[in-house]
Chains A and B, each alone.
Chain A
Amino acid sequence: MESPIQTDFIRWIVFLPLIGSIVNGLLGAKIQKSMGKGAIGVIACAPVIIAFGLSVNALLTLKNLAPEKRFLIDNLYAWIHLGSLKVDMAFLIDPLSAVMILVVTGIGGLIHIYATGYMHDDKAFWRFFAYLNLFTAAMLTLVLGDNLLVLFVGWEGVGLCSYALIGFWYQDHANARAGNKAFIVNRVGDFGFVLGMFLLFWSLDAQGHGSLTFREMVKWAPSIKDSLIWGWPVVTVATLFLFVGATGKSAQIPLFVWLPDAMAGPTPVSALIHAATMVTAGVYMTARMNVFFSMAPDTLNVIAITGVATALLAATIALTQNDIKKVLAYSTVSQLGYMFIGVGVGGYAAAIFHLMTHAFFKACLFLGAGSVIHAMHHEQDMRKMGGLKQWMPLTFATFFISVLAIGGFPPFAGFFSKDEILWLAFTSEHGNKLVWFLALCGAGMTAFYMFRQLFMTFYGKCRADHHTQEHLHESPSVMTMPLVILAIGAVFAGLIGLPGVLGGSQFAHWLEPVIHAHEGEHASHALEWGLMAVSVAVASFGVFIAFLMYRRESLSPEIFCNLAGGLPYRLFDRKWYFDEIYQAVFVNGTLLLARIGSLFDQYIIDGIVDGSASLTRFASWLNGLFDDYIIDGMVNAVANVTFWMGNKFRRLQTGNINGYLFVILIAMVLAVYVKVHYWS
């Protein structure tokens, strides 16, 4: 194996945002009071922008290397060296993590700048940016980690920051609950991740190659091909566990329920965490471990099915939502489903490609929605909007471009990445025509609900009350500038991953050192053109329906609501009753378990205690007869003395814990002193 190039600047990509977070977190309140919010903003934004510069530098360094030598390592220190477990605190940049850090620092940086405008009126400005920087540092740790354990540190870090940011406005009980929900649901996934990690190390170690470092693991992956656990291939079980972790972070069935609730956080948080970065962690992890996933076709099938189910389910829910952010939240869940369809059919590069383009247009959509919410005085209901394009032309234009991108219209970014996934679903060896067809239906729904949102928000007559209408205005340039840049990305980012007939994907080629490209996808050009035409046609159909319903209003949505007795509509509107089912099964189940435990305590344990007490009492009563007349005299005297002394000593028992501890400490110090000076 080539010896890696040691490069010291990589650590600063992680450390700079971390320093920003520490400075703002510890001194932020004082800085904000003495130097104003501008200083906080600079402290928060500068590290991320510098980190972006370093990331570009890393990309250029990689480009100048031969493809098989493209990895840079920054080894900080030996973390855990214990037996055959050797884990270093080390960061790695290879083509895959280079893409990820560019997304995190680039889009993250834009969102930081945007947030200085959006959060300007918030009193806890500094706290917000301390969390935001900490989140960025954690996400960078996740994607730069050289081994699974460092990745896991970032993995947990983003979970923690997500909790803090969702519940940022914690005075409102609902927000705090949403934060709790995100954290707890994520913990379920994390548990799977940890088990998968243990299992992989354990089985590799059994072959004498125990390691958690990615390149070592990939190198020795073939050695555990035939290992079994409980009669199953270890790789299948381990990758399934890892995928459970991915469903938690990347909001797939069954653990997607936290993401829509996460919209309780401020809008820049939704854009950064729940669209562009954190939710992509699961996709990144599966791409990073692609060698193992490819060894387990059963797992790939599970992933593909989960992806399709999530993409469709979330899309159907998004059809009926009226909250501008909820529509986007479910569309994120749905698009993440597409990424996992890509993984499930073996197209890891396509999944990462969709991840990247999605980061652009989804961040733009969320920030655009934030701009609208900002202008509407924190009104999020689309039924009270409409006609906003005359007041907010820039927001409208960028939003429109992003809607075209997510809807999958050429030549916008979403078209190429989504089509790549559909194409692989149709042709790859792991693919399946049914998967392709369902994904295509989802694409049609995506186009419908995104244009529904566009029409309801920006077209028609304004339905806001008079007061709000008077104050409608375009957002300040610190907010629109990031929108414009993201919209440009949403237009052009797809061009680096052109389909085969248009010259082939440079993006997949770039990732080849990490993700081995699949052969055998050579189908006729006619088929490729045909599939593209079908997907554009389906998307156009979705737009057409949306146009009839919400622009022309010649087709009433009522018809669909009342379809089949209104059952489908109720299912979509109630989110397929997932929250209710989880409440009934898990939350109430836990409470029931606690109640049973309490009853057990009350009747069985207490019964035993009480029973022994009764027995003792009976024995004592017998004894008492004897005692009463013979021993009492003696005993009474002793008892009186004891009572008297107890009463005196009672004063020592102040109940003051600090006091007790202080006495303990003094006694300890005295004892050590005596031992050292007089006894040795």
Chain B
Amino acid sequence: MSPNDLSSYLIIGAILFSLGMFTVLTRRNAISVLMGVELILNSANINYVAFSHFSSGNSAGQIYAIFVIMLAAAEAAVGLAIVLAIFQLFHTIDVEAAQTLKE
């Protein structure tokens, strides 16, 4: 596997995605869940940039990566605002505490 091989980038992307998914599924701390989401978004970024690099001359992927970064920033802001609201309501940021919808 060399640095000039598309699959190595995709593998890194996949590893990062799995780590992020694992974090989102297993963590109960809302901030950790948000961090996992960031990892997932970044794994998507790696794929974007890698595909863009290997489809010569097409820079759309890199531009999309920048959009994703911007979106991630907005997502983090909204996510943290929700976490803050949850904390004010429940005095904890454990996601399992926020289940008043339940019977």
Which residues from chain A sit less than 8 Å from chain B, CB to CB?
80, 82-83, 650-651, 653-658, 661-662, 665
Contacts and interface: CB of A to CB of B under 8 A. Distances in A.
B19 to A, nearest CB: 14
B95 A657 contact: yes
Contacts of A662: 25
A659 to B, nearest CB: 9
A665 B40 CA distance: 13
Nearest to A77: B3
A656 B24 CA distance: 12
Interface of B: 21, 24-26, 28, 33, 59, 62, 95-96, 98-103
A658 B29 CA distance: 11
A247 B26 CA distance: 44
Contacts of A83: 59
A657 B21 CA distance: 13
Contacts of B62: 80, 82
A264 to B, nearest CB: 24
A306 B95 CA distance: 50
From B21, B26, B62, B100, name the one whose CB has the most chain A CB atoms within 10 angstroms. Answer: B62
Contact of A654 (B24, B28, B59, B102): B102
Given A82-B59, A83-B59, A650-B103, A656 B25 contact: no
Given A654-B99, A655-B101, A658-B28, 16 more contacts: A650-B103, A653-B101, A653-B102, A655-B98, A655-B100, A656-B95, A656-B99, A657-B33, A657-B95, A657-B96, A658-B24, A658-B95, A658-B96, A661-B24, A661-B25, A662-B25
Contacts of A654: 99, 102
Contacts of B95: 656-658
Given A661-B24, A661-B25, A651 B96 contact: no
A152 to B, nearest CB: 15
B25 A658 contact: yes
A76 B98 CA distance: 47
A66 B22 CA distance: 57
A654 B101 CA distance: 7
A77 to B, nearest CB: 9
A661 to B, nearest CB: 6
Contacts of B101: 653, 655
Contact of A655 (B21, B24, B33, B102): B102
B99 to A, nearest CB: 3
B88 to A, nearest CB: 15
A665 B21 contact: yes
A665 B25 contact: yes
28 contacts: A80-B62, A82-B59, A83-B59, A650-B103, A653-B102, A654-B99, A654-B102, A655-B98, A655-B100, A655-B101, A655-B102, A656-B95, A656-B96, A656-B99, A657-B33, A657-B95, A657-B96, A657-B98, A658-B24, A658-B25, A658-B26, A658-B28, A658-B95, A658-B96, A661-B24, A661-B25, A665-B21, A665-B25
Contacts of B59: 82-83
B90 to A, nearest CB: 12
Nearest to B28: A658
A549 to B, nearest CB: 51
Contacts of B21: 665
Contacts of A656: 95-96, 99
Contacts of A650: 103
Nearest to A80: B62
Contacts of B102: 653-655
Nearest to B62: A82
A651 B103 contact: yes
A650 B103 CA distance: 7
Contacts of B28: 658
Nearest to B101: A655
Contacts of A651: 103
Contacts of A80: 62
A336 to B, nearest CB: 31
A80 B62 CA distance: 9
A650 B24 CA distance: 24
B40 to A, nearest CB: 11
10 smallest CB-CB distances across A and B, nearest first, come from A655-B99, A655-B101, A655-B102, A657-B95, A82-B59, A82-B62, A654-B102, A653-B101, A650-B103, A658-B25
A614 to B, nearest CB: 27
Nearest to A657: B95
A657 B95 CA distance: 7
B44 to A, nearest CB: 15
B7 to A, nearest CB: 19
Contacts of B24: 658, 661
B10 to A, nearest CB: 16
B52 to A, nearest CB: 9
Contacts of B96: 656-658
A658 B95 CA distance: 8
B70 to A, nearest CB: 14
Contacts of A658: 24-26, 28, 95-96
A17 B59 CA distance: 35
Contacts of B25: 658, 661-662, 665
A665 B22 CA distance: 11
B68 to A, nearest CB: 15
A657 B62 CA distance: 32
A236 to B, nearest CB: 29
A654 B103 CA distance: 8
Contacts of B99: 654-656
B27 to A, nearest CB: 8
A82 B103 CA distance: 54
A105 B95 CA distance: 45
A651 B99 CA distance: 12
A341 B27 CA distance: 53
B46 to A, nearest CB: 14
A650 B99 CA distance: 12
Nearest to B53: A81
